[in-house]
Amino acid sequence: MTKKLLKTWQKPSITPHQMGTLNKFGRPVSGDYVEKIDGVAVSDLLREYGSPLFVISEKRLRDNIRQMKRAFESRYQPVIHAWSYKTNYLNAVCATLHQEGSWAEVVSAFEYEKARALGVPAERILFNGPHKKRAILERCVTEGARIHIDNLDELYLLDTIAREFDKVTSVTLRLNFDTGYTEDWSRFGFNLGSGAALDAAIRIGNSSHLKLRGLHSHIGTFILDPRAYQVQVEKMCGFMELIEQQTHALIDSIDIGGGFASQNALQGSYLPTEQVVPTMSQYADTICGTLLKMTAQREAQGKPRLKLILESGRAVVDDSEVLISSVVAGKRLPDGRASYVMDAGVNLLFTAFWYNHKVKHTRPLQGIPEETVLYGPLCMNIDIIRQSILLPPLSVGDSLVLSPAGAYNNTQWMQFIEYRPAIVMVHENSLVSVVRRAEKLEDLNGFESLPTHLNGQFKFAE
């Protein structure tokens, strides 16, 4: 007796035709799927480490930093890349980049301590940011880290500490100014136009223990027009010449911060990222070309060649990490759209608040793509990881790969309602390491202590 061969079931769906309207959802996600990450099957990763799961590609991370260094060093030398810890301060990520030669750029005592604990020498740490208390400044002065001065109170405190420790301390002055291309980031550093930056440079010049050796500015984030950097370098070099004439300062480095865009898609952006995001060569061309032009006479004047310091974070790490998330439930919304509850939401993918991440499935899916909302697991209305995307019908247990997820998610994520999952790194030999294990109740309760009289004796209503 032969058994009848049954046909494959697909979740039934019907999609209305819409004509004459712009398609705001972009191309449907179909055909293109991610079965493996650097040679390791997604299904094996989920089976071994559970869902959701962050996965870092060591190879991509190394490729990215090498590509950036090549782009800049082929046009200008010396170039220093300082890894922006706040972008992703997982030890495995930081260590990989330090192996590639990156210094550490930190913005808090915590990040400084993390870098030092990892083995970064203090003189390879740039300490940025607006919040530096006396204790950490004292440590930086004694250990020799480069401090980027953000405000007058910090300047006076640092001067006091340097005198108390009788330690001549090289410092960098953080500047802010309008480039005409970017938002005004005037809350950090000293303003150029108001004269505050010149006043600060003169004050440092009058100090017996502070030596102004560097200038720093960070003109914004996700900067899509390289000409912004041209203005930045011109203004910083102009200011350098001014203060070198007016004070005894001899500048050894220009730090242009970060802000290079990654291949993520900002919400509200209609053009594909490949069309709007400049290549690393385009950024490097503008920055190095301007710097060479502005410093052409410098060596003839007997002054040291400037170190160009980059603090790029997002462009280095973003596309080296993905988040794999699985469908927990599907729900048809009253307006006809498909929706799914995923096991990862804005608690893990914090950047979903401003990016439309790429979404790929992990096996070929049958069915007609339709407008779909992807919700996270939180019992909160704001927990939406994609407001609108064309996806074929999904089933419970199907997994999706959300990317790029390497920048600002593992630092800004929240332990809110759910445990945070494991993060694994796939190495170049396709071996996998857990670089941060999944949270457990004991981890979180370990922070708390319960006063004795609150322990038990609960009186629940009947």
Partner 1 sequence: MSEHPLNNFLSLYSDSLKRLALNDSGFVFDPMTGQSFTVNPCGLELLKLMQKQKDVELINHQILAEFDITAEILERDFLEFSEQLRRYLK
Q: How far is the CB of 10 from partner 1 (least distance, A)?
A: 5
From CA 326, how far away is CA 328, in angstroms rounded?
6
Complex with partner 1: residue 85 or 340, whichever CB lies closer: 340
Contact indicator for 249, 243 with CB cutoff of 8 Å: yes
Interacting residues with partner 1 (CB under 8 A): 4, 6-17, 330, 332, 334-336, 366-368, 393
Burial of residue 27 (number of CB atoms within 10 Å: 0-12, 13-18, 19+): exposed
Least distance in angstroms from the C-beta of 361 to partner 1: 16
Interhelix angle 152-164/134-143, rounded to 10 degrees, is 50
Compare residues 293 and 363 and give the one whose CB is closer to partner 1.
Answer: 363
**Min separation Cβ 15 and partner 1, Å:** 5
Q: Can you tell me the distance from the alpha carbon of 433 to that of 431, in angstroms, rounded to the nearest whole number?
A: 7
Give the tokens for residue 111.
Answer: 């990040």
Q: Which is nearer to partner 1, 340 or 355 (CB)?
A: 340
Question: 97: part of which helix (H) or strand (E)?
Answer: helix 91-99
Per-residue burial over 298-336, b = 16 or more CB atoms within 10 Å of its CB, e = otherwise: beeeeeeebbbbbbbbbbbbbbbbbbbbbbbebeeeeee
Are 425 and 433 a contacting pair, CB within 8 Å?
Answer: yes
Could you tell me the smallest distance in angstroms from the CB atom of residue 41 to partner 1? 24
The residue (of 101 and 367) whose beta carbon lies closer to partner 1 is 367
What is the token pair recorded at 237? 């070099």
DSSP labels, 274-341: HHHSPPHHHHHHHHHHHHHHHTTTTGGGTPPPPEEEE---HHHHGGGEEEEEEEEEEEE-TTS-EEEE
DSSP assignment, residue 160?
H
Q: How far is the CB of 71 from partner 1 (least distance, A)?
A: 46
Least distance to partner 1, CB of residue 29, Å: 16
For residue 404, cis peptide bond before it (omega within 30 degrees of 0): yes
Q: Which is nearer to partner 1, 3 or 187 (CB)?
A: 3
Site of tokens 């074929």: 392
Q: Between 18 and 449, whose beta carbon lies closer to partner 1?
A: 18
Helices (H), 328-430: 409-412
The smaller minimum CB distance to partner 1, of residues 17 and 187, is found at 17
* Closest distance of CB 366 from partner 1, Å: 8
Nearer to partner 1, 11 or 27 (CB): 11
Strand ranges for 91-227 from DSSP E: 103-106, 125-127, 146-149, 169-176, 190-191, 210-217
Nearest distance in Å: CB 4, partner 1: 8
**CB nearer to partner 1: pick between 13 and 160:** 13
CB of 43 to partner 1, least distance (A): 20
